């Protein structure tokens, strides 16, 4: 919880810094134009207070441009040169967008003021300079606080050889990286040297160590390991919601499709990064709450009519409550409209198939239009599910699949969803669980709000044409 508060503080203060710098750049441009006669064009500037709406449009546009350039994603060891180039692009886009907003919003209104071309150029240049300076100062503050132990990520190093020792010395010698080293893990068959941190156990204990020590990140320091050994170690991390990074061998650096980063100059490959962390998780939850609340309000007449029709169509309750496995493989009760006979599972659970005789006449229509899933909006509002995510399975099937499908339990690193990436790609109903798992894992590791919106839109389109709906 302390780490989350620290991350929220760092991001919040960074946004505030950018707001102040963009606002100062705008009014700095105003005073430069007022004091400098170049270029010599006839302009009459209004009072500074009259430019407040234009300034707000400029600041808002610059902030949006910075966000779209991913400049609010806090990097471990950011390249200030790359950040400067991104800042130039964001300031350029934001300034142009702010000018356009001011024109369309305030043209022919009492808020319209003369916005000279020279002032626009000054605002653009000052925005680049001041935001760069503000971010440098913020970076120094963040590094100083992390060096004092505030908001650090707890890291566990897998490996006890020379490479592990080099990585540990790099981390311990640079507290501004924001790491707190928990310890190291020994891997059978590989050498062990003297390390500046304790050896907590072996690779077989990796999952338990992650949970026991609340690890945020695992660094695998075994460049000589085979690909199969690396995959085995990564799979051991399934019980912990951690970012996994690998110190690569030369071939991986040249040919690998993974993200290459660095740790104070040492190369690291990011093979799994937790996409839903920090502000992203909060943004997804906000979308879930708003979407579920709006959906329940506008769809309540349809849901009431559906419940009445179910009662009239066949004996039994209108709703069907079933235990499913959600976030961290915790069970929860999932709500659905009943689409089968009341005694459908008298002989035990079973998959539904096309033409299943257990499905009622009305139930086939509800399934084809996905109306039977609408009560899950209640689960979303309660925080047990998300609008988008891996579809939840029953505990009996989870116990079966986890033994036969690699990384199946990684699906439970995030909340289950009403719809998902696998479903909009045709993998629903009686289809391959292994293939569905691949799509679910890809979604978890490549999540974005834009991807969620894309999945929701594709779900709406597929409702009337999905070949697997029955």
pLDDT at residue number 367? 84
Domains of the chain, start order = 2-147 (no CATH), 153-272 (3.40.50.720), 279-462 (no CATH)
Q: Got the DSSP string for 124-160?
A: HHHHHHHHHHHHHHHHHHHHHHHHTTTTPEEEEEE--
Query: Which stretches within 273-334 are classed as H helix?
Result: 279-313
How would residue 400 be classed by pLDDT, with cut points 50, 70 and 90?
A: confident
Please state at what angle helix 80-106 crosses helix 52-68, rounded to 10 degrees.
140
Averaged over 71-82, what is the pLDDT? Answer: 72
Q: Which two tokens stand for residue 37?
A: 């006669």
pLDDT at residue number 22? 94
Instruction: Give per-residue pLDDT as tens, 14-35.
Output: 999 999 999 999 999 998 888 8
Q: Helix (H, G, I), strand (E, B), or coil: what is residue 320?
A: strand
Residue with tokens 């702010």: 98
C-alpha distance from residue 160 to each of 166, 170, 189 (Å): 10, 15, 11
Residue with tokens 């978890």: 444
pLDDT at residue number 332? 93
pLDDT at residue number 225? 85
How would residue 183 be classed by pLDDT, with cut points 50, 70 and 90?
A: very high
Does the pLDDT of residue 351 top 80, yes or no? no
Q: Which two tokens stand for residue 418?
A: 């009403």
Q: Which two tokens stand for residue 280?
A: 């992203």
How would residue 354 be classed by pLDDT, with cut points 50, 70 and 90?
A: low
Bridge partner residues of 320 (DSSP): 336
Mode of pairing for the β-strands spanning 243-246 and 217-220:
parallel
pLDDT at residue number 375? 94
Q: Comparing 68-77, 168-177, 253-262, which segment has the lowest mean pLDDT? A: 253-262
Q: Helix (H, G, I), strand (E, B), or coil: what is residue 263?
A: strand
Instruction: Determine the Cα–Cα distance for residues 406 and 154; give it in Å rounded to an integer.
Output: 27
pLDDT at residue number 429? 66
- Residue pair 217/3 in contact (Cβ under 8 Å)? The answer is no
pLDDT at residue number 353? 66
Mode of pairing for the β-strands spanning 259-263 and 243-246:
unpaired
How would residue 92 be classed by pLDDT, with cut points 50, 70 and 90?
A: very high
- % the chain with pLDDT above 90: 29
Does the pLDDT of residue 207 top 90, yes or no? no
How would residue 469 be classed by pLDDT, with cut points 50, 70 and 90?
A: very low
How would residue 41 be classed by pLDDT, with cut points 50, 70 and 90?
A: low
Averaged over 100-128, what is the pLDDT? Answer: 87
Averaged over 78-105, what is the pLDDT? Answer: 85
Q: Which two tokens stand for residue 440?
A: 């679910």
Of 50, 31, 57, 406, nearest in space to 235 by CA: 406
pLDDT at residue number 15? 93
Averaged over 79-91, what is the pLDDT? Answer: 81
| Cα 237 from chain centroid (whole Å) | 19
Average confidence score pLDDT of the chain: 83
pLDDT at residue number 152? 80
pLDDT at residue number 253? 47
Instruction: Give per-residue pLDDT as tens, 294-306.
Output: 999 999 999 999 9
Residue with tokens 């008298």: 346
Q: Is the C-alpha dihedral spanning 274, 280, 286, 291 positive or negative? A: negative
Does the pLDDT of residue 256 top 50, yes or no? no
Please state at what angle helix 279-313 crosses helix 449-462, rounded to 10 degrees.
20
Averaged over 95-110, what is the pLDDT? Answer: 87
Does the pLDDT of residue 346 top 80, yes or no? no
- Residue pair 291/380 in contact (Cβ under 8 Å)? The answer is yes
The torsion angles phi and psi of 40, rounded to 5 degrees, stand at -80, 75
How would residue 129 be classed by pLDDT, with cut points 50, 70 and 90?
A: very high
Contacts of 85 (CB under 8 A, 6+ apart): none
Residue with tokens 């050994």: 229
Q: Which two tokens stand for residue 169?
A: 């010395």
Does the pLDDT of residue 470 top 60, yes or no? no
Averaged over 319-326, what is the pLDDT? Answer: 90
Measured between its terminal Cα atoms, the distance across the chain in Å is 44
């Amino acid at each position: 919880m302390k780490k989350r508060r620290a991350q929220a503080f760092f991001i919040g203060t960074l946004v505030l810094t950018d707001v102040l710098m963009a606002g100062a750049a705008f009014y700095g441009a105003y005073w430069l134009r007022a004091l400098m006669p170049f270029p010599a064009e006839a302009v009459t500037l209004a009072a500074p207070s009259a430019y407040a709406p234009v300034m707000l449009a400029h600041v808002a546009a610059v902030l949006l441009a910075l966000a779209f350039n991913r400049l609010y994603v806090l990097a471990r060891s950011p390249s200030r040169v790359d950040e400067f180039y991104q800042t130039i692009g964001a300031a350029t886009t934001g300034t142009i967008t702010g000018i356009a907003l001011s024109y369309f919003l305030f043209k022919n209104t009492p808020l319209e003021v003369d916005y000279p071309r020279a002032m626009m150029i000054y605002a653009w240049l000052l925005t680049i300079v001041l935001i760069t300076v503000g971010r440098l100062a913020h970076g120094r503050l963040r590094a100083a606080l992390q060096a004092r132990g505030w908001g650090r990520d707890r890291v566990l190093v897998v490996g006890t050889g020379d490479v592990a020792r080099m990585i540990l010395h790099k981390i311990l010698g640079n507290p501004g990286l924001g790491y707190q080293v928990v310890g190291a893990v020994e891997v059978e068959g590989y050498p062990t040297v003297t390390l500046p941190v304790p050896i907590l156990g072996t690779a077989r204990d990796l999952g338990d160590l992650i949970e026991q020590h609340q690890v945020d990140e695992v660094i695998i320091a075994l460049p000589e390991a085979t690909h199969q050994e690396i995959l085995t170690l990564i799979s051991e991390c399934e019980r912990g919601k951690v970012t996994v990074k690998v110190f690569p061998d030369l071939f991986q650096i040249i040919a690998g499709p993974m993200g290459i980063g660095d740790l104070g100059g040492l190369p690291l490959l990011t093979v799994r990064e937790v996409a839903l962390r920090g502000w992203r998780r909060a943004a997804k939850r906000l979308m879930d709450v708003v979407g579920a609340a709006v959906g329940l309000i506008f769809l309540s007449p349809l849901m009431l009519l559906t419940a009445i029709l179910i009662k009239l169509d066949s004996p039994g309750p209108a709703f069907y409550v079933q235990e499913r496995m959600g976030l961290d493989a915790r069970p929860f009760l999932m709500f659905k409209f009943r689409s089968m006979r009341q005694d459908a599972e008298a002989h035990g659970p079973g998959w539904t198939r096309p033409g299943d005789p257990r499905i009622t006449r009305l139930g086939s229509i509800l399934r084809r239009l996905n109306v039977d899933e609408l009560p899950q909006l209640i689960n979303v509002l309660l925080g047990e599910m998300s609008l988008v995510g891996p579809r939840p399975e029953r505990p009996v099937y989870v116990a079966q699949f986890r033994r036969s499908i690699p990384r199946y339990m990684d699906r439970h690193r995030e909340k289950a969803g009403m719809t998902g990436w696998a479903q909009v790609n045709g993998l629903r109903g009686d289809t391959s669980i292994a293939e569905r798992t691949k799509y679910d894992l890809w979604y978890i590791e490549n999540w974005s709000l834009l991807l969620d919106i894309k999945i929701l839109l594709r779900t709406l389109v597929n409702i009337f044409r999905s070949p697997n709906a029955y």
